[in-house]
């Protein structure tokens, strides 16, 4: 029989694996935040969070729930993060945010959103998003030429990774991660 102390310890370990994400704009203003996701793994390169749904709160107070199961990869060194969404109609849709490397700070995973995004659809179509917002914010926030160069390089690198199906744009890898999440978060049912 499992003792109460063991159950409490396991419960505490699970709770510590749930992390919230906050996105900021270049001026330091909170842009968007997500309810906690399960930290499936942390490597030298990224945190991988998984969720069945997430509450998203926008900077203007609006809030909404995500519709899909997802894996959220937040990179520590690369200028991107990627939300891998399992579509009800089948397949995975990848939403890549061009963003500063993510840091863990004050109990949150935090990054700066740099407007430009790429979306990879299940049929392998790639669509660039928010290009006008990026161009406007270069002026609005006074992005330096070095920052603009880093953002554009990241955009091109992500597009190439999408075209080549390299991680994290690999359905098999993402499906495996999500299966692991489901296995690790099964409800605990004590045996009598």
What is the per-residue pLDDT across 84-111, written as a single tens digit (0 to 9) for each? 999 999 999 999 999 999 999 988 999 9
Q: Is the pLDDT of residue 6 over 80?
A: no
* Res 7: pLDDT: 41
What Å distances lie between residue 97 and 30, 130, 151, 162, CA to CA?
Answer: 16, 10, 10, 13
Q: How far apart are CA 36 and CA 33, in angstroms?
A: 9
Percent of the chain with pLDDT over 70: 91
Residue 192, pLDDT above cutoff 80: no
**pLDDT of 1 above 60:** no
Take residue 169 and report the two structure tokens written for it: 């744009």
Q: What angle do CA 109, 112, 113 make, to 5 degrees?
A: 115
The pLDDT value given to residue 3: 46
Model confidence pLDDT, tens digit, residues 15-31: 578 999 999 999 999 99
38 DSSP β-pair partners? 18, 50
The residue with greater pLDDT, 186 or 44, is 44
Q: How far is CA 151 from the centre of its chain?
A: 18
Q: What pTM value is reported for the model?
A: 0.88
pLDDT surpasses 70 at 164: yes
- Per residue in 109-152, pLDDT tens? 999 999 999 999 999 999 999 999 999 999 999 999 999 999 99
Q: Is the pLDDT of residue 70 over 80?
A: yes
With a cut of 80, say whether residue 80 has pLDDT above it.
Answer: yes
pLDDT band at 67 (very low <50, low <70, confident <90, very high): confident
CATH of domain 15-184: 2.40.380.10
Give the start-to-end residue ranges of the domains of the chain: 15-184
pLDDT, residue 26, reads 96
Cβ contacts of 31-38, under 8 Å, gap ≥ 24: 31/58, 31/59, 31/113, 32/56, 32/57, 32/58, 32/59, 32/113, 33/57, 33/108, 34/72, 37/72, 38/181, 38/184, 38/185
Which residues are the active-site residues? 32
């Amino acid at each position: 029989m499992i003792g109460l102390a063991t159950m409490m310890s396991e419960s505490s370990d699970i709770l510590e694996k749930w992390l919230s994400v906050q996105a900021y704009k270049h001026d330091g203003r909170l842009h968007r935040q997500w309810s906690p996701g399960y930290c499936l793994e942390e490597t030298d390169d990224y945190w991988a969070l998984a969720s069945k749904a997430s509450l998203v709160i926008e900077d203007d107070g609006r809030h909404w729930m995500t519709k899909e199961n997802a894996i959220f990869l937040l990179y520590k060194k690369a200028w991107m993060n990627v939300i891998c969404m399992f579509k009800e109609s089948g397949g995975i849709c990848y939403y890549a945010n061009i963003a500063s490397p993510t840091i863990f700070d004050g109990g949150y995973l935090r990054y700066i959103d740099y407007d430009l995004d790429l979306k990879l659809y299940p049929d392998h179509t790639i669509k660039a998003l928010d290009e006008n917002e990026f161009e406007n914010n270069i002026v609005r926030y006074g992005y330096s030429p070095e920052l603009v160069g880093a953002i554009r390089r990241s955009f091109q690198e992500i597009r190439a990774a999408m075209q080549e199906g390299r991680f994290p744009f690999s359905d098999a890898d993402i499906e495996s991660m999500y299966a692991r999440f489901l296995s690790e978060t099964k409800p605990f049912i004590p045996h009598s």
